[in-house]
Amino acid sequence: MIKLDRVTKYFRTKTGKKYILKDVSMVIPSDKNIGILGRNGTGKSTIMRMLGQIEFPNRGKITSDKSFSWPLGLSGGFVGNMTGRANVKFVCRLYGKSKKEIDEIINYVKDFSELNDYFDMPIKTYSSGMKSRLSFGLSLSFDFDYLLIDETLSVGDANFRKKSKMALMKKIENCHVLLVSHDMGTLRDICDVGIVVNNGKIHYFDDINRAIDEYASINK
């Protein structure tokens, strides 16, 4: 489960505090694919990162007995002067992988990302799409209880997007997702339950269709 205990999250602005959540308590059941819906600027991505315990509230606490990935496609953590291969190896070592596991992950990520010779070139030479493909492949090569997915399910041309979607659907046969998206079709295809973010509060729905209906009602 994911438990929120009197959670408050805000950012300071020139006009005062902008609240994302304000004194929210909630228990989200385990083993569900969770969609997160809300208008632009409501803090959906921030909430996803907090639920995944890679960002933290100003007050209160969020606890879970589950493991979470970094957001799929996030490339900000790569070291620009290191090659794609070296970055993958570095992340593997952080997670305590054995040499055999590291070799297997490197081979998988190189093949999946389709970077070819760029895999052994510094990350600073990559386009944003190339970095996202590397990150996407790296995320899929690890086993987590939950994958964090913020808007983008895949990158690249049509063939790569199709391959990525198939790989992701295969992956979530054995794990679950926290998905931020404005694509209602994708939310219905992937998610079981939903969270709607609105005015500093989040509302949990045990059916993704009910969450989508609520989201539609506040956007009329």
Tell whether 37 and 119 lie within a shared domain: no
Tell whether 55 and 96 lie within a shared domain: no
For 96, the domain range is: 75-146+153-178
CATH of the domain at 84: 3.40.50.300
Residues contacting residue 81 through CB under 8 Å, at least 6 positions apart: 122, 123, 124
pLDDT (tens digit, 9 = 90+) per residue, 60-92? 999 999 999 888 766 667 899 999 999 999 999
Tell whether 168 and 209 lie within a shared domain: no
Q: How far apart are CA 97 and CA 6, in angstroms?
A: 36
5-16: average pLDDT: 94
Instruction: Count the domains in the chain.
Output: 2
How much is the pTM? 0.84
| 207 pLDDT more than 90 | yes
Tell whether 105 and 130 lie within a shared domain: yes
As to burial, measured by CB atoms within 10 angstroms (0-12 exposed, 13-18 middle, 19+ buried), residue 119 is buried
Check residue 155 and give its pLDDT: 64
**What is the pLDDT of the chain when averaged over all its residues?**
90
